[in-house]
């Protein structure tokens, strides 16, 4: 095959400029990889979730009740739009595991029917056989955390009575993809799991013969969910129904959906940054290449090549670089995307992972990347089209530096080397600005990711040191009279105990509505407090509500507004309550009021759901043992264990993401610095050789270019801090949801760390350039016409 001369020249140029071409290709590859990585993982998780939900019939609605007769199910099934309704028994239990001192809990759930909803995916073993009351299936993560397998024995306290269960299988469920324990912030399979039992076993243990405590429903596609919820709530109200919730409010689904939103935000932000920087690098490199090849361009025109043919030649050169970057990005993106999807699949307990290749995403990535590269080249090609052969073949006029740097030199007295640097940077302001901007984007990417460390520490400090200051939160198995507080205070190690009451309610403002638990607190609460925006404790109002910022934004409420509150317990009162204040809250939707006022509104009187407890550290083990043995204990939440799990989980995820961000930022820094320095070297090679001939040492000659690099890198730092600050704020807005509200905390350490990483990458490039300067052939350089 005969290769046309211009194409052969393009291949030769690519080989000659391989280092600069590789730097540009890597930046392009980073943009492609982040697009493939983010969209591929997002698509894989979304399709896996949807397929899992469909195959195992994940319910559309669910509702908890105190006790309802099975005959009620027929009325539920008669509601227009209900396709399937399945009564269940769902109750808390406490595992009794030998050698485990910290408190743990399990959720006891009726084994689904073969054609029922929320069906199980068996990893090993089988389902309990009918009539076998002591057979059970346990969730995979809980089994793995405790070394349980088919044939193992597990003791569980059910309704105050200990029962030994035989494990027949290990399973997963679409209902518990994100199995989070009561009062916890992160999944902890060591302290929380799911146990599925035959209905007869749970009926006997909880005195629910012929009754149920939970209902799951599947709706006809397209049927309005709200209308069905209203009917279900109406029918279940007399039986202690706490209000039906749709899939969007189901805990596991809500957490998974929030993670998918964050993943989507990542791949919408990063790829444009890389493609913009790559376009600037293409423009810088091609402009310099065209300037060096003026004589060749003139000769080509003189022998008959049209301007369009020459322009096509340079576009092919850029296209080859872009294709290399695209192919590298495809490989890296597919590999990283599969790895990220696998990580999420393990974190969210999927039974399988549907990771396919969407050619549309690859095609879009290729088109966008080529467009960015060509956009960077087009501006440079305007000079090719305008050059006549006679002008092109003549050497360019020497650069006139008198006007470009006169103002700076007049204002700032510079030595000779500094004057050379200033005139060179100011003579090509666009290229200098592009280099500064490229370096700034490397800093910005790091700033926009490293801020999360300070935010997490602030979140923990505010939540667990200022707002929730108890050592243990104890929730009773069922609401107890106020006198139960005296028994609790007499337990070993208890220094202080403050009661609280949790009442499920639906808050409505206009067409906005949220379902949550309103927490009643004592007026003089010290262990669990609401904090104002300035982090000062807020006094508990006698009649009003204090709501979190997330709830206030979600319902568009401000202090002084009235909110409609439909209580889903007690006498199920519907009242209008004023908003007394808005508190800082980073986890979930919060609403609190005076515990006595809450008792009056609900008609329950002095009833409590549990207590916040301050312990003597020396007696903590004795207290936990006594609390685990107490029949009234529903579950225990130990603050230290919650915080340690929260840190461990976030550390694992953030370490992975920070590694990716640091790598990408280093690629940008290396690409920008190396291209800038190589172009500067090609332009000033004759000057540097002249300095060497005049007696300058290699280091003194190299300092001219290295000082230019230093100026560019240093000027980029504050701009990068500013851009990173803005990106960080945008990420906080994108990541915030009803589940989490991430505070934006940007300390000086973030800026310093980001700058140090980028400066280290710049120094690495500078060493490479220094080596090339040291190897300059003085005679060859001085013989050039330029």
Total domain count, the chain:
4
Residue 213 contacts residue 167 (beta carbons within 8 Å) = no
Residues 257 and 310 in one domain: yes
**Would you say residue 241 has pLDDT above 50?**
yes
Alpha helices, DSSP H only, in 603-697? 620-629, 639-693
CA 576/CA 366 separation, integer angstroms: 57
Domain boundary, last residue among 370, 393, 416: 393
Assign 410 a pLDDT band (cuts: 50, 70, 90).
low
Q: Give yes or no: residues 278 and 389 share one domain.
A: yes
- Residue 770's closest CA among 688, 667, 686, 663? 688
Is residue 140 located within the same domain as residue 37? no
Residues 268 and 233 in one domain: no
Please check whether residue 475 lies inside any domain of the structure: no
Question: Which of residues 375, 393, 411 is at a domain's end?
Answer: 393
The last residue of one of the domains, among 369, 393, 417, is 393
For residue 90, list its beta bridge partners.
109
398 part of a folded domain: no
User: Distances in Å between the alpha carbon of 172 and those of 69, 155, 251, 438, 737?
Assistant: 29, 21, 16, 47, 26
Quote the tokens at residue 276: 């913009």
Taking CA atoms, 342 is separated from 45, 139, 339, 352, 583, in Å, by: 9, 19, 5, 9, 38
- Of 378-382, 489-493, 537-541, 641-645, least confident by mean pLDDT is 378-382
Looking at residue 110, what is its pLDDT? Answer: 94
Task: Output the pLDDT for position 350.
Answer: 83
Mean pLDDT of all residues in 676-687: 68
| 251-261 residue pLDDT tens | 888 888 877 77
Pair 201, 286 in one domain: no
- Given a contact cutoff of 8 angstroms between Cβ atoms, the answer to whether 326 and 28 are in contact is yes
Query: Do 431 and 511 belong together in one domain?
Result: no
For 594, phi then psi, to 5°, come to -60, 135
Domain identity same for 670 and 595? no
Supply the pLDDT for residue 581.
92
In a domain, 627, yes or no: no
Return mean pLDDT, the chain: 82
User: What would the pLDDT profile of 578-620 be if each residue is shown by its tens digit?
Assistant: 999 999 988 778 899 999 999 888 888 889 999 999 999 888 8
From residue 731, give the alpha-carbon distance in Å to each of 266, 526, 726.
Answer: 8, 34, 9
- The pLDDT tens digits of the residues spanning 372-409 come to 788 777 766 776 666 666 665 666 555 555 555 555 55
Q: What is the pLDDT of residue 640?
A: 86
What contacts 435, CB < 8 A, 6 or more positions away? 284, 672, 676, 712, 716
Residues 6+ apart with CB under 8 A from 181: 105, 187, 188, 191, 192, 635, 637
200 contact partners, CB below 8 Å, separation of at least 6: 131, 133
In a domain, 199, yes or no: yes
Domain that holds residue 683: 403-469+643-786
Q: Does residue 72 lie in a domain region? A: yes
The continuous run of DSSP H or E covering 287 comes out as helix 251-292
The pLDDT value recorded for residue 122 is: 93
Reported as a pLDDT band with limits 50, 70 and 90, residue 776 is low
Give me the percent of the chain exceeding a pLDDT of 90.
Answer: 25
Q: 137 and 125, same structural domain? A: yes
Confidence of residue 786 (pLDDT cuts 50, 70, 90): very low
How many helices, marked H, and strands, marked E, lie in the chain?
A: 22, 20
Higher pLDDT, 502 or 269: 502
Q: Region 627-641: what's the mean pLDDT?
A: 81
Residue 479 lies inside a defined structural domain of this protein: no
Per-residue pLDDT tens over the stretch 127-144: 998 888 889 999 999 999
What pLDDT sits at residue 384? 61
pLDDT category at 279 given cuts 50, 70, 90 is confident
Per-residue DSSP letter, 584: B
Domain shared by 122 and 238, yes or no: yes
136 and 162 fall within a common domain: yes
């Amino acid at each position: 095959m005969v290769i046309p001369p211009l194409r052969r020249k393009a291949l030769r140029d690519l080989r000659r400029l391989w280092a600069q071409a590789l730097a540009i290709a890597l930046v392009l590859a980073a943009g492609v990889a982040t697009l493939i990585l983010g969209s591929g993982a997002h698509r894989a998780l979304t399709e896996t979730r949807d397929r899992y939900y469909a195959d195992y019939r994940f319910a559309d609605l669910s509702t908890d009740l105190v006790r309802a007769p099975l005959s009620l199910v027929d009325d539920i099934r008669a509601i227009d739009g209900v396709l399937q309704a399945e009564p269940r028994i769902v109750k808390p239990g406490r595992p009794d595991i030998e050698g485990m001192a910290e408190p743990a809990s399990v959720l006891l759930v009726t084994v689904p029917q073969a054609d029922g909803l929320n069906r199980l995916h068996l990893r090993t073993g089988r389902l309990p056989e009918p009539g076998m009351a002591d057979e059970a299936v346990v969730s995979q993560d809980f089994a793995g955390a405790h070394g349980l397998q088919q044939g193992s024995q597990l003791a569980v306290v059910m309704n105050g009575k200990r029962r030994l269960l035989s494990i027949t299988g290990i399973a997963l469920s679409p209902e518990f993809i994100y199995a989070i324990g009561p009062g916890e912030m992160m999944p902890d399979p060591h302290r929380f799991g799911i146990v599925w039992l035959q209905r007869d076993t749970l009926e006997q243990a909880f005195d629910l013969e012929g009754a149920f405590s939970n209902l799951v429903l599947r709706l006809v596609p397209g049927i309005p969910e709200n209308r069905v919820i209203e009917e279900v709530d109406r029918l279940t109200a007399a039986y202690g129904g706490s209000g039906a919730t749709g899939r969007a409010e189901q805990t596991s689904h809500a957490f998974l959906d929030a993670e998918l939103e964050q993943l989507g935000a990542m791949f919408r932000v990063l790829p444009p940054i890389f493609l913009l920087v790559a376009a600037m690098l293409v423009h810088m490199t091609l402009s310099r290449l065209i300037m060096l090849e003026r004589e060749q361009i003139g000769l080509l025109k003189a022998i008959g090549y049209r301007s369009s043919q020459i322009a096509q030649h340079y576009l092919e050169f850029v296209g080859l670089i872009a294709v290399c970057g695209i192919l590298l990005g495809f490989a890296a993106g597919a590999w990283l995307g599969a790895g990220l999807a696998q990580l999420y699949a393990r974190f969210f307990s999927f039974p399988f992972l549907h990771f396919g290749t969407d050619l549309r995403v690859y095609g879009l990535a290729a088109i966008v990347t080529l467009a960015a590269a060509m956009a960077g080249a087009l501006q440079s090609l305007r000079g090719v089209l305008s050059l006549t052969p006679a002008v092109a073949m003549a050497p360019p006029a020497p650069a006139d530096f008198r006007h470009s740097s006169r103002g700076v030199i007049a204002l700032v007295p510079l030595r000779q080397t500094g004057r050379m640097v200033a005139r060179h940077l100011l003579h090509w302001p666009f290229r200098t600005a592009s280099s500064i901007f490229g370096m700034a984007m490397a800093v910005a990417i790091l700033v926009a990711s490293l801020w999360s460390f300070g935010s997490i520490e602030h979140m923990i400090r505010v939540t667990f040191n200022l707002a929730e200051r108890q050592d243990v939160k104890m929730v009773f198995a069922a609401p107890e009279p106020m006198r139960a507080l005296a028994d609790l205070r007499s337990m070993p190690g208890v220094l202080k105990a403050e009661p609280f009451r949790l009442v499920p309610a639906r808050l409505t403002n206009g067409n906005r509505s949220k379902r949550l638990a309103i927490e009643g607190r004592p007026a003089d609460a010290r262990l669990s407090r609401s904090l104002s925006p300035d982090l000062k404790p807020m006094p508990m109002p006698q009649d009003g509500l204090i709501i979190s910022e997330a709830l206030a934004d979600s319902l568009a409420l401000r202090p002084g507004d009235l909110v409609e509150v439909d209580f889903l317990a007690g006498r199920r009162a519907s009242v209008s309550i004023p908003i007394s204040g808005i508190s800082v809250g980073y986890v979930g939707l919060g609403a609190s009021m005076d515990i006595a006022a809450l008792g009056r509104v609900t008609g329950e009187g002095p009833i409590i759901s549990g207590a916040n407890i301050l312990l003597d550290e020396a007696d903590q083990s004795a207290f936990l043992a006594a609390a685990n043995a107490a029949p009234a204990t529903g579950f225990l939440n130990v603050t230290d264990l919650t915080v340690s799990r929260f840190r461990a989980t976030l550390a694992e995820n953030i370490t992975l993401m920070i590694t990716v961000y640091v790598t990408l930022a280093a690629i940008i820094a290396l690409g920008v610095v190396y291209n800038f320095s190589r172009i500067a070297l090609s332009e000033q090679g004759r000057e540097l050789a002249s300095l060497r001939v005049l007696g300058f040492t290699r280091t003194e000659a190299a300092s001219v270019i290295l000082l230019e690099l230093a100026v560019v890198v240093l000027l980029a730092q504050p701009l990068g801090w500013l851009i990173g600050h803005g990106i960080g704020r945008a990420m906080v807005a994108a990541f915030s949801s009803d589940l989490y509200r991430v505070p934006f905390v940007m300390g000086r350490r973030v800026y310093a760390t980001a700058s140090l990483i980028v400066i280290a990458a710049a120094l690495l490039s500078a060493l490479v350039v220094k080596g090339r300067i040291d190897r300059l052939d003085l005679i060859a350089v001085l013989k050039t016409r330029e």
